[in-house]
Amino acid sequence: MKKTTNLTATALAVAVATGASFATPQSALADTSATVSVSNMYLWRGQNISNPSPQVAGSLDYSNSGFYVGVWGSSEGPFDGSSEIDLYAGYGMSFGDFGFDVSYWKYLYPGAQVGGVECDLGDCDLSDAVLSLSYGPVALTGYFGVESGSTKDKYYTLSGTMSSFTLLYGLYQSGESADGMDYSHLQLSYAFNDEVTFTVSKASEDGYGLGASSRSTVFTENPLFQVSYSKSFDLK
Tell whether 131 is covered by a domain.
yes
Q: Which one, of 87, 102, 90, 164, lies nearest residue 134 by Cα?
A: 102
Tell whether 185 is covered by a domain.
yes
Tell whether 2 is covered by a domain.
no
Tell whether 118 is covered by a domain.
yes
Domain harbouring 147, CATH code: 2.40.160.40
- Name the pTM for this structure: 0.83
> What is the Cα–Cα distance from 159 to 161, expressed in whole angstroms?
7
Tell whether 121 is covered by a domain.
yes
Question: 40-49, pLDDT tens digit by residue?
Answer: 999 999 999 9
How high is the pLDDT of residue 93? 95
Question: 16-50, pLDDT tens digit by residue?
Answer: 444 444 444 444 578 999 999 999 999 999 999 99
Q: Does the structure show a pLDDT above 60 at 72?
A: yes
Tell whether 1 is covered by a domain.
no
> Containing domain of residue 62, as a range?
9-234
Tell whether 93 is covered by a domain.
yes
Higher local confidence (pLDDT), 216 or 205: 205
Higher local confidence (pLDDT), 180 or 64: 64
Number of structural domains the chain divides into: 1
> What is the Cα–Cα distance from 168 to 113, expressed in whole angstroms?
31
Tell whether 81 is covered by a domain.
yes
